[in-house]
Amino acid sequence: MNKKKLITYIITGLAGAFILTGCGRINISEVKEQLGQVDALIESDPDMTDEELEKILENSFQDILAEYGLYDESSEVAETSEEESSTVAETEEDSNETFLSLDDIPDYSGKSYYVVNDNRPYFDKNAQLRSDESYSELDDLGRCGMAFAKVSRDTMPERGEKRGEIGMIKPTGWHTVKYDCVDGNYLYNRCHLIGWQLGAENANEKNLVTGTRYMNLQMLEYENMVANYIYEGGEYVLYRVTPVYLKDELLCRGLLLEGLSDDETVSFNVFFYNVQPGIAIDYSTGENYYDGVFLDKTGDGVIYNE
């Protein structure tokens, strides 16, 4: 932009600002003196860039406005800081939204998971990048909440590392019970929200929920997908898992898994049903009984005999 033309634009804008604010005590001589100093700076440096000129003009006119009480730098800084804080707060609030209701999920009909939101994560990628790993505090009923990890080599266990003991953790709705129709017999597992192979968390009560053997094994497909992406050279995968409860029930109805890799070639948003074929479950307490209804007879975690 032509420098003289730029000055003309700004002078015109300044005059308009004075008129709009009703300022009737402007000393024209002082304004002209200030503009003269700006012009001298421009003439002394003919190679000055437009960006440098704009900065000089901005500072100069802020001085003029401040002289007449029309500019308060401290209030501008405070306002900017308030806006930034508001943006961060809104982003943090948004990052904790799942936008999922059980009303949006059809009843289990034989498939272990249901794809939601066109398989696109609900979370904001830029907001989630601020944290490497986080686990929600237990609620008033002792239930786990949302867990998040920026899965990378740094969060994953070392090759050959053994998982630690987790048997001392009793998540809400826990019962130790066996059935012949369950692979491994035990109906319930202590299910990691952020799988051990991804987060290397052991007896973290904020990361363990009561889940069926069926759900725990079915989720492995997605956990393995994330792990393999990292092992094959990927930088990171944003990974969030949210237990979904109905009112005050102690057992979650399922887990919402969301994932997004740095290059976005890995992207998913799926709800896994916390069910076990052949078994009826009371989600209020975790109590259960054999009902012989096998909507899935061949899935991992199921032993079906005619």
- Read off the tokens for 281: 């479950």
Q: Is pLDDT at 247 greater than 90 in this prediction?
A: yes
Q: Which fold has domain 108-290?
A: Extracellular Endonuclease; Chain A (3.40.570)
Q: Rounded to whole angstroms, how far apart are CA atoms 8 and 12?
A: 6
Q: Rounded to whole angstroms, how far apart are CA atoms 227 and 196?
A: 10
* Residue 181 near residue 278 (C-beta atoms within 8 A): yes
Q: Rounded to whole angstroms, how far apart are CA atoms 187 and 158?
A: 30
Could you tell me which residues come within 8 angstroms of residue 183 by beta carbon, excluding any fewer than 6 positions away? 213, 217, 300, 301, 302, 303
Q: What is the pLDDT of residues 95-144, one digit of tens each?
A: 334 468 899 899 999 999 999 999 999 988 887 776 688 999 999 999 99
Q: Rounded to whole angstroms, how far apart are CA atoms 246 and 181?
A: 27
pLDDT of residue 87: 30
Q: Is pLDDT at 271 greater than 90 in this prediction?
A: yes
In this prediction, residue 190 has a pLDDT band, given cuts at 50, 70 and 90, of: very high
What are the angstrom distances between the C-alpha of 35 and each of 49, 52, 267? 18, 16, 56
Q: Rounded to whole angstroms, how far apart are CA atoms 260 and 240?
A: 9
Nearest to 152 by CA among 266, 268, 270, 272: 266
pLDDT of residue 15: 56
39-48, 72-81, 119-128, 206-215, range with the lowest pLDDT: 72-81
Tell me the longest C-alpha to C-alpha distance in the chain.
Answer: 101
Sheet containing 237-244: give its strands across.
113-115, 267-273, 254-261, 237-244, 147-151, 133-135
**Better pLDDT: 115 or 160:** 115
* Residue 197 near residue 190 (C-beta atoms within 8 A): no
**Better pLDDT: 239 or 9:** 239
- Read off the tokens for 90: 């809104």
What single-letter amino acid sits at 119? N
pLDDT of residue 88: 31
Mean per-residue pLDDT over the chain, rounded:
81
Domain ranges of the chain: 3-71, 108-290
What are the angstrom distances between the C-alpha of 68 and each of 45, 61, 63? 30, 11, 9
